[in-house]
């Protein structure tokens, strides 16, 4: 068995697998981006949106 066909087969399979992983990761990224429609916490138009995840807000009275 010659080594050149074996190495070329490995190279072609690795290239095709890389392209498949790239397309799959792009599709999953777009799905995740679409699902994140509303922020859980943040400042929108100068107002605090959502509940804090770790700390309570301290208001000086």
> Tell me: the pLDDT tens digits for 21-42?
999 999 999 998 887 655 555 6
Residue 61, domain member (yes or no): no
Q: What is the mean pLDDT of the chain?
A: 82
Residue 44 placed within a domain: yes
Question: Is 31 part of a structural domain of the chain?
Answer: yes
0.75 surpassed by pTM: no
Give how many domains the chain has, as a whole number.
1
Q: What is the pLDDT of residue 61?
A: 74
Per-residue model confidence (pLDDT) at position 33: 83
Asked if residue 46 is part of any domain, the answer here is yes
Mean per-residue pLDDT for 37-58? 63
The answer as to whether 33 is a domain residue is yes
Contact of 53 with 40, CB cutoff 8 Å: yes
The domain of 24 spans: 3-50
Residues β-bridged to residue 43: 48
The H or E element spanning position 18 is helix 3-35
Residue 57 lies in a domain: no
* Domain presence at residue 27: yes
Q: Is residue 40 part of a domain?
A: yes
**What pLDDT is stored for residue 19 in this prediction?**
98
Question: Which residues touch 50 (CB under 8 Å, ≥6 apart)?
Answer: 39, 40, 41, 42
């Amino acid at each position: 068995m010659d080594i050149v066909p074996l190495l070329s087969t490995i190279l072609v399979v690795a290239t095709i697998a890389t392209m498949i992983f790239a397309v799959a990761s792009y599709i999953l990224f777009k799905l995740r981006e679409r699902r994140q429609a509303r922020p859980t916490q943040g400042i929108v138009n100068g107002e605090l949106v959502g509940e804090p995840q770790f700390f309570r807000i301290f208001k000086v009275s």
